[in-house]
Structure 1
């Protein structure tokens, strides 16, 4: 109980401090202009309740309002919820909502809106990936027009962190009921920018929402997102002034960007993990020793040095160095060809095996896969590489249409968000179809425990059990790098990597 009271007090202090920071940040900033952002891929859907792609979140953070957000130190700060109270040992959350907030279609944001959004995400018919993220939600009740009470089935420490992302984004009920499945291309939120158009594989445009609730924001008139999948082409566009802001730079270009006149570079630790997903229900990786063979055959330090130019860090779990849950004492992840060959024999494949891995046709990932291919060949494993465009790769992952597949996760501020959905047998992103009752127990205990030291000990056990079962071969934790033109001002870089634009402005040239 004391831990829950302490947690509530810390969250409240963060909430009280936020308005002063926002007021200070707004002083002296001009208004107007268009910013062009070079993205690493095109969006997949504009419906946050259906999205599974990291690239979608970049647009959502400017199109949709969320109940809460995070600051640079992962503290929870108010957004559409101006305050909250945690009661009954973490079982009840009472949110006080902002008044005077409207959706882009002119309808009112209120407690009924919030309840309807929770109901929509929880509806099995929608098959929302958010459903597993908010699985502990038992009931949502409208107390009054601007107060919502959420009751949980068990204490859920990451709840506010979960609401700082897509599960906390509020969509317009009127728009969903009007457009139905086409809402994914006709999105309506409460964010600082409203949707204008989306031309597939060319651009997506947002425009300043004049009815935004934060006085004086946003500063920009228009935002244009341009998908430029090739990182070299994207960097050239950045250097030649074709775009103003660059998402995802190839590690080899970071040094050049830092010396390029007219560019600003920010590099901070990220929440990302990169991994090979092994389908636990399909041969050969329905046999644990064969998954373990791959685990011990991969040299993550070589990948770190050659592919990532020593940026970021090698990965042996879903928890990056920026996260308190990382088990730095764990060492059973280093390459051991002898142990890998022994695991092949134990798995009934002493002469080796062959399989195909699917990957994104993108330079960094191609190079990474080629290194893994060479390392596996040394132990008698023939790994063929099938390269796909991002949308097809994601579709194959979501439909379990793979034996092995290389894809990353952009990370969440609470460790639960980096692990539960992937490792729990009922996890909404457990596309490898992994199941272990002990893992479920550990993950459920960790998300219901308020004491961080106890949670850390539980996540250490998660790290070791995930290494033992090897449903994923974690490879790397990326550095979080953003590049922008020096006339772009006011960007606040947070480790979740989101490009929040409400406070960004353009210096006149």
Structure 2
């Protein structure tokens, strides 16, 4: 009996192991540092929303691939008029939303009318301001008329802010998202995880994964332990200081790439004393980027001197505009009426790069007489107080939206910068299709906001992913916000 029982137990163990291996081959658990405040990317600014739902639950007319190129999405093809003002899209047919309702041209019109409505809460509404009209030609054809040419139109409609939603479900997408993507929303355990499952009737190529769990782990130590224990299968942007634990471990792969994340010391330009150019210049001279890059990103960040990604062909290196010079910083503060410096608050969201950068900047600013009170905040209060209500002096955040220099042309944006010259240049940039002229305009914009020291420009955030060595198909780079599941699979 003992032998029989042992054989039975061994067999049961083998079956269990086989079952777990089979489950593992089609399911994935991804550690994410921030829980999204909601799950509708068309009605919220948080990157954490797109991390879960972009190209997974929701899709746009176009989609952006890992290299930042525009690919067909819900639109199978399109034509553009000679004057660049009319785009006609042919839509894929047989597409359904996850509640079984059909996707048609009327859904596209609804989506963009909602984005452009007077009461719209879309975080990137300005990107779509060139849309003058959306017309339904027939259920499978929709036409956009622009008020002026927009070189980035096809890219921008492929972002998370412009994914297609249905009138039947749009009002509930914040908590019960319903899209057309390869994965349907299954459940949201608040404070713990979001679970997606493969959508059986998906219109496109089926992904290899059948289920994906996004597990919220805000602490680096806890994320490390979860990876080592096998409680999660990877994370897309791991704390750089802990990467050495995994770099030489054959059970893991470390993927280091680029992001669109300009990390800045966001400054309330509408609030004294930051409304004075000399004060902002003084802060710029007090910042030692090399020290911040080394201390906050462990050398993975790339120093920036303006709000533009270094890997972009339009990039202009302006890190020398206000070199690290504490003595000059003190002189400028005296000229601004603050010979003894001043005190201010620095509100920090719950991400490692912000908290670490904040500590370093507080030390640097203290050397020139600026006394910073560090206030650590959770994500939801930061979005409410800082981003929405503009109740802050200084903060640190990485702006991960691609080609987003246009935010400096919006005087209502949270850092309150109002420069008519920048607004006019940005309008011209948006309407210009000539590549050489676009580069000139983009570099002129970079130069002005650098000289105005609108914000403290710190570094471009790197993407540092840690994944199980048996996974493939993860994006190394992040040309847009999101952790796209469609190509991820387990391999032997």
| Equivalent runs, 1:51-450 vs 2, <5 Å | 51-61=44-54, 62-176=56-170, 180=171, 182-215=172-205, 217-328=206-317, 331-397=320-386, 398-412=388-402, 415=403, 418-420=404-406, 422-425=407-410, 430-450=413-433
Once the two structures are TM-superposed, the CA of residue 433 in structure 1 deviates from its matched residue by 1.4
Once the two structures are TM-superposed, the CA of residue 146 in structure 1 deviates from its matched residue by 1.1
Q: Whole-Å Cα distance in 1 between the matches of residues 467 and 322 of structure 2?
A: 36
Q: Whole-Å Cα distance in 2 between the matches of residues 460 and 333 of structure 1?
A: 17
Q: Tell which deviates more after alignment, 133-142 or 166-175.
A: 166-175
Once the two structures are TM-superposed, the CA of residue 200 in structure 1 deviates from its matched residue by 1.5
Once the two structures are TM-superposed, the CA of residue 143 in structure 1 deviates from its matched residue by 1.4
Q: Tell which deviates more after alignment, 110-119 or 124-133.
A: 124-133
| Cα deviation code 1:474-502 (max 9, x no counterpart) | 11101122111122233343432632112
Cα distance change, pair 224–329 in 1 and its aligned pair in 2 (3 A): closer
Q: Pairwise CA RMSD of aligned residues?
A: 1.9
Q: Quick check: 1:130–1:166 contact (8 Å CA) kept in 2?
A: no
| Cα deviation code 1:48-99 (max 9, x no counterpart) | 2111011111112211111111233322111111111221422111111111
Secondary structure of the structure 1 residue equivalent to 2:158: coil
Once the two structures are TM-superposed, the CA of residue 32 in structure 1 deviates from its matched residue by 5.9
Partner in structure 2 of residue 495 of structure 1: 478
Q: Quick check: 2:301–2:462 contact (8 Å CA) kept in 1?
A: yes
Larger Rg: 1 or 2? Answer: 2
Q: Whole-Å Cα distance in 2 between the matches of residues 117 and 32 of structure 1?
A: 36
Secondary structure of the structure 1 residue equivalent to 2:95: coil
Q: Quick check: 2:53–2:482 contact (8 Å CA) kept in 1?
A: no
Partner in structure 2 of residue 50 of structure 1: 43
Unaligned runs of 5+ in 1: 1-29
Partner in structure 2 of residue 34 of structure 1: 27
Q: Tell which deviates more after alignment, 97-106 or 244-253.
A: 244-253
Secondary structure of the structure 2 residue equivalent to 1:186: coil
Q: Quick check: 1:141–1:150 contact (8 Å CA) kept in 2?
A: yes
Q: Whole-Å Cα distance in 2 between the matches of residues 432 and 333 of structure 1?
A: 20
Q: Between Structure 1 and Structure 2, how many residues are aligned? A: 468
| Cα deviation code 1:1-43 (max 9, x no counterpart) | xxxxxxxxxxxxxxxxxxxxxxxxxxxxx99632101001001
Q: Quick check: 2:303–2:319 contact (8 Å CA) kept in 1?
A: no
Q: Whole-Å Cα distance in 1 between the matches of residues 52 and 196 of structure 2?
A: 9
Q: TM-score, normalised by structure 2?
A: 0.91
Secondary structure of the structure 1 residue equivalent to 2:174: helix
Q: Whole-Å Cα distance in 2 between the matches of residues 472 and 95 of structure 1?
A: 40
Once the two structures are TM-superposed, the CA of residue 386 in structure 1 deviates from its matched residue by 0.6
Secondary structure of the structure 1 residue equivalent to 2:315: coil
Q: Quick check: 2:343–2:372 contact (8 Å CA) kept in 1?
A: yes
Q: Whole-Å Cα distance in 1 between the matches of residues 369 and 411 of structure 2?
A: 34
Matched, 1:465 2:448: yes
Q: Whole-Å Cα distance in 1 between the matches of residues 167 and 218 of structure 2?
A: 34
Once the two structures are TM-superposed, the CA of residue 329 in structure 1 deviates from its matched residue by 6.0
